Amino acid sequence: MLRTLVTLASLAPALLLPVAATAQQPPPLAALVERGEALPNLNAIIVSRDGNILFEHVFQGPALDRPVNIKSASKSVMSALVGIAVDRGVLGGVDQPVAPILKASLPADGDPRLQRITVGDLLTMRAGLERTSGANYGAWISSRNWVRDALSRPFVDEPGGRMLYSTGSTHLLSAALTRASGRSTLELARDWLGEPLGITIPAWERDPQGIYLGGNNMALSPRALVRFGELYRNGGVVDGKRVLSEEWIRRSWTPVTQSMFTGHGYGLGWFSTDLAGHRVNYAWGYGGQMLYVIPDLGLTIAMTSSTERYERGSGYVEALHRLVSDIIIPEVQSSRSTPAGAS
């Protein structure tokens, strides 16, 4: 049953409005409440413009500061960790082959093409190896060695070929980070992102060898997600301190392949598309865990969802995209075009 809508006036404090709402001046993005209530899976939305919270609302589920499973939006976080590792010299760059780092896990009779897979191939889902996501995910995580299992998969394309969305690829990056740095992915995430962003990063799932799962099941609160998105919107700088290189962000948002499922572009762990005439870069987790960054409008948007009733192919994620294209972007454009003092 849909929750009864409260009055717009009573929403004002929750939405952190700069002025009191009136019948003549509804709260910013008030239409999101009504549209969001019609989506039974939607848990929460936060909209930040130019670093200021324009709208935040919990429809159901945990509070905005409580970590929730962001599913495969973790892949965008993993990309940031790889980018920082490159900036610090822990990894050599996107063209670095990963086989020498992961040599202890290479199968004895491995395909010679394993030597050609690079960091960039794993980030862009172009390793060429059979996918470990979708129907293959259960068997992969039931294996005794996730890294070796991913590297033992048959090649279905050449390294650098078409996009084959696979959590095994980002898990190989987690293993490479761990072995190259001598520190766990959790330690790196807390040190390189948690501390400068001022966010909490709880421990998450590990493989049988103790390597933190790369690209799935991380937990961040909606507010932490916004903070992470703001890192990218601000070109890698937080409170005047360089955390991630601007060049890495540019490359992350430059599509080099595209999803066979949506046709949207994919760069270094980020999807890109156009919504309402604006370039939108987004992280996407199963069931509707979304982080959108729209640089030309100064927008960072986080959405979290319940996965209990989620069904693939239901159109739910497309409905979340429409919240951005039909409500958020038009209203922000309208407010930016309204002269100061106008009513």
| Domain extent listing, the chain | 65-256
Note every long-range contact of 149-156, with CB atoms under 8 Å and residues 24 or more positions apart, other chains counting.
151/102, 151/105, 151/106, 151/107, 151/110, 151/114, 152/107, 152/110, 153/129, 154/111, 154/129, 154/130, 155/111, 155/113, 155/128, 155/129, 155/130, 156/128, 156/129, 156/130
Residue 338's pLDDT is: 53
Which residue type sits at 44?
A
Residue-averaged pLDDT of the chain: 91
Fill in the DSSP letter of residue 219.
Answer: E
**254-295 pLDDT per residue, tens:** 999 999 999 999 999 999 999 999 999 999 999 999 999 999
Question: Rounded to whole angstroms, how far apart are CA atoms 116 and 202?
Answer: 34
At the second CATH level, the architecture of 65-256 is: 3-Layer(aba) Sandwich (3.40)
Strands 42-49 and 271-275: unpaired
Which residue type sits at 332?
V
Question: Rounded to whole angstroms, how far apart are CA atoms 217 and 238?
Answer: 25
Residue 17's pLDDT is: 39
Confidence band (pLDDT; 50, 70, 90) for 337? low
**172-213 pLDDT per residue, tens:** 999 999 999 999 999 999 999 999 999 999 999 999 999 999
**60-94 pLDDT per residue, tens:** 999 999 999 999 999 999 999 999 999 999 999 99
CB 170 within 8 A of CB 214: yes
Backbone angles phi, psi at 34, to 5 degrees: -65, -45
**Residue 242 confidence (pLDDT) above 50:** yes
**112-165 pLDDT per residue, tens:** 999 999 999 999 999 999 999 999 999 999 999 999 999 999 999 999 999 999
The partner residues of 56 in beta bridges, in order of sequence, read: 46
